[in-house]
Amino acid sequence: MSKDPIDRAADAVKRTIDDARDSVHETAHRSEAETEKMRRDVAGDAMGPGEKAGSVANEAKNRAQAEIDAIKRELRDRT
């Protein structure tokens, strides 16, 4: 059974909104990851080992979240 034009249009609008939201989230996560990296570069030796480890973990977390948002968009576009 085929969807009627109104349902197809509603699906297209929903997909566009979801793609935009995921793009914004991806950009925010990548920015946060870069901020963590820059924070370590600027602080250098002033950061203790625990702070550096936490910063590296936070950067990795944000990069992973950005990739998840990108993958969600890619998967949505394939369907």
pLDDT tens sequence across 7-46: 999 999 999 999 999 999 999 999 999 999 999 999 988 9
pLDDT at 2: 74
Alpha carbons 64 and 52: distance in angstroms, whole number: 18
Contact indicator for 63, 33 with CB cutoff of 8 Å? yes
Contact indicator for 25, 69 with CB cutoff of 8 Å? yes
Please, which residues have CB within 8 angstroms of residue 48's CB and are 6 or more apart in sequence? none
pLDDT at 77: 85
Q: Is pLDDT of 53 > 70?
A: yes
The residue among 57, 9, 23, 67 whose CA lies nearest residue 37 is 57
pLDDT at 78: 87
Alpha carbons 75 and 41: distance in angstroms, whole number: 35
pLDDT at 74: 94
pLDDT at 1: 61
